[in-house]
Amino acid sequence: MYYNLLRLLACSVVFSFFFFTSISSQGVKSEKNISDSIKMAYMEKLALKNPMIRQFSMTSELIPHRNISSKLYGKDFIKGDATIYRNSMLFKMPVKDWKNSSLSSSASVLNQKFSMHNMTHYDDPNTTYDLDFSKTTLGLSLNYNVRGKLFNKPVMYNTSITGVTDPSFSEYDYSFTGVMMFTLKRTQTTTLSLGGVVLISPGVKIPGFMMVSYTHQFNKNLELSANLPYRLALRQELNTKNSLSFINEMSGSKAFFNIDNRYFPEKSSYGTSEIKSGLLYERRLGRKFVLGLSAGALYTATSEMKENNTWDDSYFIKNKSTLDAYFDINISLLPFINW
């Protein structure tokens, strides 16, 4: 339900929360007597373990085969096969930092190419056709974070405004998000934080959910990281430059359509909610670059199209859930601008 938010609309909210929660839970403060070089070294170490808090990333994803089975207004519509290519870019930028608060921004680009083949309509099963098209989505987010204490416990508040649009700026979607997280436990090997999220966005059925951040260092090279509901990872550091992780994480996509057909809404949006499970191999290249290769299974929980910017959940096209293979290649940059 919240997969598109976490992947596209609120990626920077997740980034801000986990970065500042981790800073607090590790006992690292923003006081002036801590040098920038020490803070940067700590940020690099933290970002190596959690790709979500890297400052820049580019990812290419291939889903070689997906079975398409669609319903239109609840009735069988089309079926066939598809190959999906996705290229995405995400950049995070600090804007202003105060003693106990900060302002940051992020920008994202997602391009999706759909190669659909052997497509047939249920009312005309003897006719097949192929269809190729691509869609690009732009995203921008502004985040304000406050760090403090409540009931003698470290707490972080985050508010975020996020918008996504097409390249022509004719279609858009937006969300307002509020996050509050408490650090409940902190030891040399274990941290635990708990909190909640309030979400205001068109089409969202439940405007709130719980969040949990848990990390545990089993030994020097093996660590469990759970940033729920977004990501669960078990990371094995092979040496100073290489690591291998088992990951289970939410992902998703969003695209806008202008449909010239009187039976469909003219301005529509298509979104998917997905869960990835697989292996991630990463190799550090030099001081700042990290190369990642990932493969595994991708479960598409929802794949739906609805009239854009409507506050109900009346989807007129729904696709059947599928389980597919995926392959990712990623290049990312560890933090290079102080937060």
List, for residues 147-196, the tens digit of each pLDDT value.
888 888 888 898 999 999 999 998 888 889 898 988 888 888 998 989 88
Question: Is a pLDDT exceeding 60 seen at residue 302?
Answer: yes
Q: What pLDDT shows up at residue 13? A: 47
Q: What is the pLDDT of residue 149?
A: 86
pLDDT above 90 (res 133): yes
Cα–Cα distance between 113 and 338 in angstroms, integer? 36
The mean per-residue pLDDT over the stretch 128-151 comes to: 91
Strands 124-150, 289-307: parallel, antiparallel or unpaired by DSSP?
unpaired
Where are the chain's structural domains?
3-333
pLDDT higher than threshold 50 for residue 10? no
3-state secondary structure of 230: coil
- The per-residue b/e assignment along 42-77, b for 16 or more CB within 10 angstroms, e otherwise, is bbbebbbbbbbbbbbbebebebeebebbbbbeeeeb
| pLDDT mean across residues, the chain | 85
pLDDT of residue 20: 54
Prediction pTM value: 0.86
Instruction: Indicate if the pLDDT at residue 2 is higher than 60.
Output: no
pLDDT value at 31 more than 60: no
- Give the three-state DSSP class for 295: strand
Q: Which of residues 281 and 104 earns the better pLDDT score?
A: 281
pLDDT of 30 higher than 60: no
Strand partners, 311: none
What DSSP assignment string belongs to 250-291?
Answer: EEEEEEEEE---TTS-SEEEEEEEEEEEEEEEEEEETTTEEE
pLDDT band at residue 81 under the 50/70/90 scheme: very high
Sign of CA dihedral 101, 102, 103, 109: negative
Which of 138-142, 292-296, 315-319 is the most confident on average? 292-296
In this prediction, residue 209 has a pLDDT band, given cuts at 50, 70 and 90, of confident
pLDDT in tens, 214-270: 999 998 889 999 988 888 999 999 998 999 999 999 888 889 998 888 878 888 899
Greatest distance between any 2 Cα atoms in the chain: 74
